């Protein structure tokens, strides 16, 4: 049972878009509000993407970048909070967290795609030069 759970977690971490699809289907089936389904699925996937980038880099290049991803996410949150603080008189926390989380989804998605694209190109070059 633990082996099966480990395999499922590995697949979800290395393929976060599978998780996005599964969470979208589940939310669509059980939610009454069809308007925000993709946003909620993306919010859930952002958490998985934080770990997927670390696992992908470790899998492809054998580097551990765990804290770097979290530090960059923290810097993004600080920048967004500073901008919000300077432009508005009062900071509303939930809309601010939502903006940060959605921006992190975009950044992490593009980073994840770039990591796998670069890894694939490097592997093709490595195999072609043998």
> pLDDT tens track of the chain, all 130 residues?
788 888 888 788 888 999 999 999 999 998 877 788 999 999 999 999 999 999 999 989 999 998 999 999 999 999 999 999 999 888 899 999 999 999 999 999 999 999 999 999 999 999 999 8
Question: Residue 105 is part of which domain span?
Answer: 2-128
In the chain, the number of structural domains is: 1
CA-to-CA dists, residue 38 to 70, 94, 104, 121, 130, angstroms: 24, 18, 15, 31, 44
Instruction: Look at the pTM and tell me if it is higher than 0.75.
Output: yes
Neighbouring C-beta atoms of residue 45, cutoff 10 Å: 24
């Amino acid at each position: 049972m633990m082996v099966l759970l480990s395999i499922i977690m590995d697949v979800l971490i290395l393929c976060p878009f599978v998780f996005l699809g599964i969470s979208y289907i589940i939310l669509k089936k059980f939610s009454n509000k069809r308007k925000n389904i993709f946003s909620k699925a993306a919010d859930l996937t952002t958490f998985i993407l934080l770990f997927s980038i670390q696992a992908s880099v470790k899998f492809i290049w054998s580097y551990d970048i765990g804290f770097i991803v979290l530090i960059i996410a923290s810097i993004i949150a600080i920048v967004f909070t500073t901008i919000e603080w300077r432009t508005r008189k009062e900071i509303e926390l939930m809309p601010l967290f939502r903006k940060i989380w959605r921006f992190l989804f975009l950044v992490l998605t593009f980073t994840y795609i770039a990591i796998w694209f670069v890894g694939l190109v490097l592997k093709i070059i490595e195999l072609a030069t043998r």
